[in-house]
Chain A
Amino acid sequence: MSNKKYKKLTPTQQEYQRFAKEREPKRSVLFNIAKAFLVGGTICTIGQGLQMFFVTYFNFTEKTAGNPTVAVLIFASALLTGLGVYDHIAQWGGAGTAVPVTGFANTVTSAAIEHRSEGYVLGVGGNMFKIAGPVIVFGVFSAFVVAIIKIAVQVLGGVK
């Protein structure tokens, strides 16, 4: 924890937070990264296998095979979420399951299942993008900013 975080706290609070911090179980960052690499890598390898499968057997090119590959991964992730398995893999795999497209599918599916009890419109419709929403908002926004920068550089006679 940085010192900045302690600034607003009273000396007693600061003392307690240090006291508590010493007694919390430590997370092995290295081990967690290794697990994330393994799980994330496995998901991507499956994706690669799917892509090759579509290219070899279904007349897709390497570029067009992307769409069916992602669709299969999303379907698999949604299915595993519905069966209640995905969150257990995620507890072990950490960022390995969150970063690939399967993680995104999981956020949407889990929220949709969870809020089914409040009806299709207010429940499923209103909450489906509860977790995925910010990713879309800031994804689109940052793409917009990058595009503006690119155009500005081009206009000023930079990279053609």
Chain B
Amino acid sequence: MAHRYDINSALLRDLKVPLDGRTSSSHSATPKQHSQGPSVSGTAVIGVAFKDGIVLAADTVGSYGTLCKIRTVPRLLKVNKNTVLAMSGDYADFQFIEQHIGKQSIRDFNSDDGYEWSPKSLHSWLTRVLYNARSKIDPLWNSYVVGGYETETNRPYLGGLTMLGISYTSPYVATGFGRFIAQPFLADQVEKNPELDEKTARVAAIHALRLLYYRNRESSNKYQLAVVTKDNAVVEPVKEFETAWDTALMIRGYD
């Protein structure tokens, strides 16, 4: 079954390439394969649905193994006034998807029939793209959170998607490391208050990122939020959240 992907081995693989450009696998039985692991990647993203919309949140780091290679890179994409997308995993693969979505959006606009992406249709389409890539054993190394406002049902839409094409909907979603740390916190928030309003959802989303920042060395406190309500999607400018490290001194072995 599926093996856990070890990001450190990706870095080691790259370091093993000699400076003259010849790959170390040139004398092994199998040729060097590309697209078999992420290089510059984004860590966890999260999504929370509230009464009349959704919030997506992501920090802005592009990591190269354990190296913080890019400190400010946007990981949220506004697709249209109803639909936003949050990525984690390989950034180049995300840029490929971004171009793909851009082209399709232009084609839809040119058709002039009023049709455009809805969060549900984008989720469904992305699922097919990732599933087809995995079926060719040439996966796009991304997990996504798709969110927005579904005008057909007049309800917020929030869904998750993994690199193998596993897609699902849920009132709260987190990818990668966020499944361990952010998801339990968000579940608690949503259960305590099933009719979240926008303000509470934003606070919960930022706090989920904060919890991740405390335990995930790949993350940072620079973040972006995307908020979608009926006919209005906003990807907000990069901000920083406050952190408190005084309790860390109570952890044995911290210093």
Q: Do A and B come together as binding partners?
A: no
> Interface on B for A, CB 8 Å cutoff?
none
> Interface on A for B, CB 8 Å cutoff?
none
